[in-house]
Amino acid sequence: MELGLGIDTGGTYTDAALVELGTGKVIAKAKALTTRNDLSIGIAGSLRNLGDVPLKDVKLVSLSSTLATNSVVEGKGCRVALIIAGDAYNGSVPVDHIIQVQGGHTIRGVPNCPIDLQAVEEYVAGIADQVDAIAISTFFSVRNPEHEIALKRMITSKWDLPVVCGHELSTQLGFQERTLTAILNAKLIPIMAELIQSVKKVLEEDGIKAPLMIVKGDGSLMGEQLAKERPVETILSGPAASLIGARNLTGENDAVVVDVGGTTTDIGVLRGGRPRLDPEGAIIGGWRTRVRAADISTSGIGGDSRVVVVNGQIMLGTLRVMPLCIASSQYPRVLERLRKLKDVKQTPQATHIALESILQADEFFIFSRMVKGYEPSENERALIDLIRTEPKTLYEISEATGVHPYSYNVRKLEELGVITRIGFTPTDALHASGEYVEYDREAPLLSAEYRAGLCGMDVQRFCAEVKEAVIQKIAREIVYRLIYEDCGKTVHCDVCSSMIDKMVSQLPGIDFSVDMRLHRKIIGIGAPIGAYLPSVAQRLHTELLMPENSDVGNAVGAITGSIMESVEVLIKPKPGLGVMEDPPCTMHSMDEMREFETMSEAAAYAKSWGENKVRRNAVTAGADEIEVLVENHRMMGQIGKSWGDGLTLEVHVKVTAVGKPRMFFEVEHGSDEYD
């Protein structure tokens, strides 16, 4: 029996799924808490929780991870030097060193001037021991990559440093976006290498000898070597894996996939069995990149979202906290303190304070780690010392230090990862109501009793109100996602928002009610979907699919994906000759710019070059049983009826190789085809 192991490291949980590769049947599954400071610990925990299973029979391992996305958002990464030519960099992502030299091309691929190799050589000689990687981006390198290729060849011949070129990562126009993508890729190289090394160590300890694949942001797979070279392509890896998992668990080719996790809810659309991709490239941390990735809407609502009570009103925050039901199992003091909640008097809260800054009497803080380069203030040091070994509320810390609770900037310390907040969450509400109990129930029940009293409710109604808030939030986000799919707009007027609110809440207006009917099914992925999505689907008048093993759908998606490598070639007629039937033209590829006497010759060359390129890339990525697809898209323009069919503006040739990952047996006893 050939087994595959899928692993997904989410924001809260690390999932593992052992799958029979021939049938797609899930043999075993498990979860463990994600350990953000060292992902390998959570991965090892999830494998241990699989129980007594034949891990030595695993022939393939595939990993989807939030590591790249989180690293970009948190500004982590190695020291990078940037070399640019032909235009200035806007500095959206800081680099450690930067030089701008003469070079670059016009939109037709004609050099502005020769590239200044000597200046770059002198520059790199001075900073080579101060950086971990180098990013190169030249103006219009997608039209002619010769300057980037020359710079990379010179640097790698003299220094042992990773070098990343913009044209290697994207064929799309956009100098700033391409430069940004190259920088992020360079920053992520050592981070991804460390993750892969850690995962392989865990696999070795469990006796697993199998190729390791990584899920890309478009849902396809790539081998560990390519992942080390192009780690930026793993951005949005986790959400993409959930889409692939949904497809494989249900067989549905067209559906809305809703992945409810601990930290976020991700919403994407399957079209023709593949994730819909963002045509402009993924947006991460507010920056537009040129990374091919699934077009996903991510909302800060999940099982571990913070629930806040403000003057008797229940509100959901986007902040992720450690649920009380989990914390009380790790820290006995949490339960001890919650038993004294009945003696705590809640004072009126100022409504002008931001929701994330409002304090709750039943929230705790625990020390996580010190951050390199950050020097805590005297007050912050006192706070850290008090919570270094056991959690305390901010009110307790205030009593011990004499500092007012609101004088501590706990949000900054949370964002840096120095401290972790423990608080009431939707998961706690399910525990308190008895609807879903996996961890300790007493702690969330005590907190729910206290909060219900603040709202003038009993516990069951309070928990039901929390659950209702989650249902409405998810339904609203689905509607917003599908409006964007339909018209491409993200801004909604007051009238639109009012109607959507009436629809998701099912509360009537004075004279009318609002209903919406989805044309597509909803596929639910994630452990808590049974609590929320049935009501969401009912309000949207559509069918809900909650497949077996949906709780580890991301891990299933990780191991059931395919390898896919694509290249695109642009062919443009010579200026003024587009009206000819087969005009002279210029071909622009990621390897070169080349002139041809006819467009048919260029198209034939592009097809041959593209097929060889993607086949080699797919083999390097670890693919077997490779199929190559070629698409031609001709853009035409009209200049008058007397000119017949019009003129050719440009031809896009896209070549894609698709294959299944090569398994352990084939790697060990492979044929010369893969040498």
What is the 3-state secondary structure of 476-539? Answer: HHHHHHHHHHHHCCCCCCHHHHHHHHHHHHCCCCCCCCCCCCCCCCEEEECCCHHHHHHHHHHH
The pLDDT score that the predictor gives to residue 674 is 31
> What are 69-125's pLDDT values in tens digits?
767 766 767 889 999 999 998 888 888 899 999 999 998 889 999 999 999 999 999
Q: Which of 46-50, 315-319, 555-559 has the lowest mean pLDDT?
A: 315-319
Number of CB atoms found within 10 A of residue 32's CB? 20
> What are 318-359's pLDDT values in tens digits?
888 999 999 998 999 999 999 988 777 766 666 667 777 788
Looking at the predicted structure, is the pLDDT value of residue 664 above 90?
no
φ, ψ (nearest 5 deg) of residue 97: -145, 150
> What are 438-464's pLDDT values in tens digits?
889 999 999 999 999 999 999 999 999
Confidence of residue 285 (pLDDT cuts 50, 70, 90): low
Confidence of residue 667 (pLDDT cuts 50, 70, 90): very low
CA atoms within 13 A on the CB side of 578: 18
Residue whose tokens read 């008048």: 541
Q: Tell me how far apart the alpha carbons of residues 586 and 94 are, in angstroms, rounded to a whole number.
A: 36
Instruction: With CA atoms as reference, report the closest residue to 569 among 145, 15, 277.
Output: 145
Instruction: With CA atoms as reference, report the closest residue to 561 among 244, 257, 230, 238.
Output: 244
Choice between 186 and 490, residue whose per-residue pLDDT is larger: 186
Distances (CA, A) of 405 to 127, 241, 310, 385, 506: 46, 42, 17, 16, 40
Choice between 562 and 347, residue whose per-residue pLDDT is larger: 562
Choice between 611 and 292, residue whose per-residue pLDDT is larger: 611
Confidence of residue 493 (pLDDT cuts 50, 70, 90): confident
Domain boundaries, the chain: 80-189, 305-463, 563-674
392 has which bridge partners?
A: 365
Q: Which of 28-42, 346-360, 409-423, 579-593 has the lowest mean pLDDT?
A: 346-360
The pLDDT score that the predictor gives to residue 450 is 94
Q: Tell me how far apart the alpha carbons of residues 317 and 392 are, in angstroms, rounded to a whole number.
A: 21
- At 514, list the tokens: 């609002």
Over the chain, what is the mean pLDDT? 88
Q: Tell me how far apart the alpha carbons of residues 47 and 202 are, in angstroms, rounded to a whole number.
A: 9
Confidence of residue 668 (pLDDT cuts 50, 70, 90): very low
φ, ψ (nearest 5 deg) of residue 395: -70, -40
Q: Tell me how far apart the alpha carbons of residues 285 and 74 are, in angstroms, rounded to a whole number.
A: 8
Looking at the predicted structure, is the pLDDT value of residue 588 above 60?
yes
Q: Which of 97-101, 281-285, 332-336, 478-482 has the lowest mean pLDDT?
A: 281-285
Looking at the predicted structure, is the pLDDT value of residue 665 above 50?
no
Average pLDDT over residues 462-469: 96
How buried is residue 172: exposed, middle or buried, by Cβ count under 10 Å (0-12/13-18/19+)?
A: middle
Q: How far is CA 580 from the centre of its chain?
A: 46
Residue % of the chain over a pLDDT of 70: 94
The topology under which CATH files domain 80-189 is: Rossmann fold (3.40.50)
The pLDDT score that the predictor gives to residue 675 is 34
Looking at the predicted structure, is the pLDDT value of residue 379 above 70?
yes
